[in-house]
Structure 1
Amino acid sequence: MTFFYPPDLSAGSFRARALVDALRRHAGADIQIDVLTTQPNRYASHATEVVSSEESPGLYVRRVHLPQMREGFVGQAVSFWRYARRVRRLTAACDYDLVLATSSRLMTAVLGAWAAYRRKTHLYLDIRDIFVENLRVLFPALLAMPLGWIFGALERWAIGRAQRVNLVSQGFLGYFQPRYPALRFPVFSNGVDEAFVRFAACMEKAGARPVAGPLQVLYAGNLGDGQGMHLILPELARRLRGRAHFRVVGAGGRLEPLREALRSMALDNVELLPPVPREQLLEFYREADVLFLHLNDYPAFKRVLPSKLFEYAATGKPIWAGVAGYAAEFIGAEVANASVFPPCDLEAALERFEQLPIGFTDRSAFVQRYGRERIMNEMAQDILQLLEPA
């Protein structure tokens, strides 16, 4: 079960496809995989209908059509309810040996736990975010507290049902291990997708790109509260006018506040573009001099490891990152030629920008270490162990 699956554009989508491919490689003809997902809906600009079901030997993908209202918490809840109702019907007569759910906002994990409980079968969860902890960020305290009780109980039930729970970030261990000491938590991170492995090889051959005029700074990703781009980018662009041109590729709940702030400051060095297919995104990476990454200054985000970081690192381009906690530690230990500053700290961001060496950095060792195919192969083996005779 995965809420996002190709051709949808999201980290969860690409991760789910890579995991399906790895399971098929390792199990061969001995496995039948049913993927229960949705029609593309991550971004409205790419929410085009594709075939509702596709079948090939050993693989059956079924996509649930969602209602148009998707923005905000209520819209997302309505969409998930539609997905859950359909999954309930699709699994009613199926006898599975294992249910696998990959989940960022908890409820896909709960749905997977319910299906496993109903069919009395094994459950493997892949957790990509800590939803309960993030409630304090998403809602005022008076609402976050009761929601925390409700979703905390759902989390305990879902995690308690699982035979194994993978975490995508080492930083999540500090949350999950004390709460569920009886469980073993493997950590299979997002990794570098195969398209970026090939891209990295091409960039290594091409070497450094000559820089003329203002530096081209690229941000590619979501534009929501979690990224806080509306809080830092307008003033950064104003202070670096004439020295840096920002290209922002993405969409999200804070796109309009960002657009309005840029308009009110009459900034002409920021280009806002909607999400684009992978091929075009790779071309934007090729044209960039610096890659920008930012997470909002929320305590819960000190545990996360942004999936975008693996793409950025694979390009060999300089990385300018406003992150804290585990992400900052990971970058410091693993990613050469990356300048890190505290989230939302304008002066520190400008200082780190001045110190950032511009040019290509060979990160082939990083790409090899964190290649998604290798990570997913290991994860597939971990999953398939649950099906081996005791």
Structure 2
Amino acid sequence: MRILFLTYYFEPDLCAGSFRNTSLFKALIKSKSVDTTIDVITTFPNRYDSFDANAKAREVYEEGVVVHRVQLPKHGSGLKGQIIAFKYFYNQARQLVRDREYDLVYASSSRLFTAFLGSKIARKNKATLYLDIRDIFRESVVEIFNSKALKFGLNLFLRPIEKYTFSRANHINLVSKGFQTYFKKYNQASFTYYTNGIDQIFIDQFEATIPVVNHVHKKTLIYAGNMGEGQGLDKIIPQAASKLPEYTFILIGDGGTKVKLREEIQRLGLINVELRDPVTRKQLIELYQEAGFLFLHLNDYKAFERVLPSKLFEYATFNKPIVAGVGGYAAQFIKEELPDTLLFKPTDSVELVNLLKNFNGLITDKSSFISKFNRASINQLMSMSIIKAHEE
């Protein structure tokens, strides 16, 4: 069997898409038969402009398993820059597969167009198409704009692309069960719900940590990840920090709204908020271990009521209280799986401040959660489902 593995993000990039797909790729290598070949088409690290890492344009993992990386042109994190970058990736990927044939195409997509590319190639090859969907792009991107004309135009443009993409899929994996109602119309496909999971590097640090059930926590909140419209950090951090001068807020990462966040911090004259560039996972673990609280937030958009932040899974491996501003399915998941989380409504700084001031210091044991969402176990099952999709 000849497999094409499409992912916009891959190691050594620093983002959820990279961690998920690199780990799945390695599980797929273990699950494949000896006569199966795998071509990965991805990009050089590009998630954050401020992060750079060494990578090869062509990397042979083993015989018949090759990773091809496309060097994207320099681009900003805004919508226009991302469109230019993806168009380049799309054209280069089509060139790379032009003279090759595949039996199965796997595509992992948060921004629709990697899935669209997979659908295009699968149609050309009459191949099985397996889509891994990490976000509902059309719903998310339309909601972030205020202009009704722009919303209408984007909907008009994206709807047929979305239909073309998903109506060709033989199998669709959804990382969040919150997506289920949106995709049920594509009933020609079979579905699975393999979530994001916890990587071994985080499990190792959990097992090496002495459990702490009740103690006085440092008044330090750490967030690490993207700083974009989806996270809405500019709507919550400055407002909460101005009411909590005794707390330090450390925000690590990069993204389209980092400038807006910095401007708001400066406008309010805050000295208890630190903005830092992205760091490696090893450095990140050390920072998490020193933190008092681990923070995540999604903007107050209806589209984000369906998502399940991958950040929750790594946060759960630390004996630290998690502070989460989410709604919808993510809030439901947290109540069921991580009930000691300090949960508040997105952008509600008053509720956040009250939660921190009234925190009782209790943390529950998360061993069962970590066992349940071990990424290695999840990816073993998912890799088998990819192979099975072609056999059906």
Can you list the C-alpha shifts for 1:37-57, whole angstroms capped at 9, x where unaligned? 001100011134521111022
Contact 2:13 / 2:53 at 8 angstroms: preserved in 1?
no
Q: CA deviation at 1:387?
A: 2.9
Can you list the C-alpha shifts for 1:213-245, whole angstroms capped at 9, x where unaligned? x51111111111111111111121111112x11
Separation (CA, whole Å) in 2 of partners of 1:274 and 1:358: 30
State yes or no: 1:372 paired with 2:375: yes
Query: In structure 2, do the counterparts of structure 1 residues 208 and 283 end up closer, same or farther at CA, with 3 Å as the change threshold?
Result: farther
Query: In structure 2, do the counterparts of structure 1 residues 49 and 80 end up closer, same or farther at CA, with 3 Å as the change threshold?
Result: farther
Separation (CA, whole Å) in 2 of partners of 1:135 and 1:145: 12
State yes or no: 1:132 paired with 2:135: no
Superposed counterparts of 1:187-226, under 5 Å: 187-203=193-209, 205=210, 207=212, 211=216, 215-226=219-230
Equivalent of 1:169 in 159, 168, 176: 176
Q: CA deviation at 1:250?
A: 1.0
Superposed counterparts of 1:191-270, under 5 Å: 191-203=197-209, 205=210, 207=212, 211=216, 215-242=219-246, 244-270=247-273
Q: CA deviation at 1:96?
A: 1.1
State yes or no: 1:89 paired with 2:89: no
Can you list the C-alpha shifts for 1:17-56, whole angstroms capped at 9, x where unaligned? 1111111111253322111000110001113452111102
Residue 357 of structure 1 aligns with which residue? 360
1:290 maps to amino acid: F
State yes or no: 1:39 paired with 2:44: yes
1:35 maps to amino acid: V
| The 10-residue stretch of structure 1 (63-72 or 291-300) with the greater mean CA deviation from structure 2 | 63-72
For structure 1, the 5+ residue unaligned runs are none
Contact 1:70 / 1:78 at 8 angstroms: preserved in 2?
no
Q: CA deviation at 1:266?
A: 1.9
| The 10-residue stretch of structure 1 (36-45 or 357-366) with the greater mean CA deviation from structure 2 | 357-366
Equivalent of 2:156 in 141, 149, 154: 149
1:257 maps to amino acid: K
Contact 2:226 / 2:253 at 8 angstroms: preserved in 1?
yes
Q: CA deviation at 1:102?
A: 0.2
Q: CA deviation at 1:200?
A: 1.5
TM-score normalised according to structure 2 size: 0.94
Contact 1:219 / 1:291 at 8 angstroms: preserved in 2?
yes
Identity of aligned residues (%): 42
Secondary structure in 2 matching 1:153:
helix
Can you list the C-alpha shifts for 1:306-358, whole angstroms capped at 9, x where unaligned? 01111111213101111000000000000142011110112111222234333
Contact 1:164 / 1:185 at 8 angstroms: preserved in 2?
yes
Separation (CA, whole Å) in 1 of partners of 2:26 and 2:362: 35
Q: CA deviation at 1:59?
A: 1.7
State yes or no: 1:11 paired with 2:16: yes
How many residues align? The count is 385
Separation (CA, whole Å) in 2 of partners of 1:209 and 1:48: 40
Separation (CA, whole Å) in 2 of partners of 1:118 and 1:277: 39
Q: CA deviation at 1:174?
A: 1.7
Query: In structure 2, do the counterparts of structure 1 residues 210 and 338 end up closer, same or farther at CA, with 3 Å as the change threshold?
Result: closer
Separation (CA, whole Å) in 2 of partners of 1:183 and 1:110: 16
Q: CA deviation at 1:211?
A: 4.6
Equivalent of 1:20 in 25, 47, 53: 25
State yes or no: 1:75 paired with 2:81: yes
Query: In structure 2, do the counterparts of structure 1 residues 45 and 190 end up closer, same or farther at CA, with 3 Å as the change threshold?
Result: same
Residue 103 of structure 1 aligns with which residue? 109
1:82 maps to amino acid: Y
State yes or no: 1:328 paired with 2:331: yes
Contact 1:135 / 1:148 at 8 angstroms: preserved in 2?
no
Equivalent of 2:341 in 338, 342, 346: 338
Secondary structure in 1 matching 2:152:
helix
Q: CA deviation at 1:210?
A: 6.5
Query: In structure 2, do the counterparts of structure 1 residues 216 and 28 end up closer, same or farther at CA, with 3 Å as the change threshold?
Result: farther
Q: CA deviation at 1:86?
A: 0.7
| The 10-residue stretch of structure 1 (42-51 or 53-62) with the greater mean CA deviation from structure 2 | 42-51
For structure 2, the 5+ residue unaligned runs are 1-5
Residue 295 of structure 2 aligns with which residue? 292
Contact 2:214 / 2:361 at 8 angstroms: preserved in 1?
no
